[in-house]
Amino acid sequence: MSQSQEADPPPLLVTRLMDDLEPAMLDFVKTNVNSFIKWDLLRFFYNNRHTTDTAENIAKYAGRTVSMIGRELDELVTRI
């Protein structure tokens, strides 16, 4: 292939992942999920949609400590 015919580089992983999200979910992620802890919490609640549990148990299931998720949980709750 000559330089003028080079293939476009493959899309970035982030771009591919964002293309897979519904627009409303993508907007929520862009505006509210600004840490890996929040991403873990979002994933936890997606996989356990009907759960009502304590911060202690959510932390355990998410593989985090309560001190790590406390503030992040509070921020997500106030934004939803």
Share of the chain above pLDDT 70, in %: 81
For 4-23, the pLDDT digits (tens) are 566 766 667 667 777 777 88
Using alpha carbons only, give the angle 76, 17, 68 rounded to the nearest 5 degrees.
30
Question: Is the predicted pLDDT of residue 65 greater than 90, yes or no?
Answer: yes
pTM score, whole prediction: 0.66
Q: Backbone dihedral region of 43: left (phi > 0), alpha (psi from -120 to 50 degrees) or beta?
A: alpha
Q: Which sequence spans correspond to the domains of the chain?
A: 3-79
Longest dimension (CA), the chain: 60
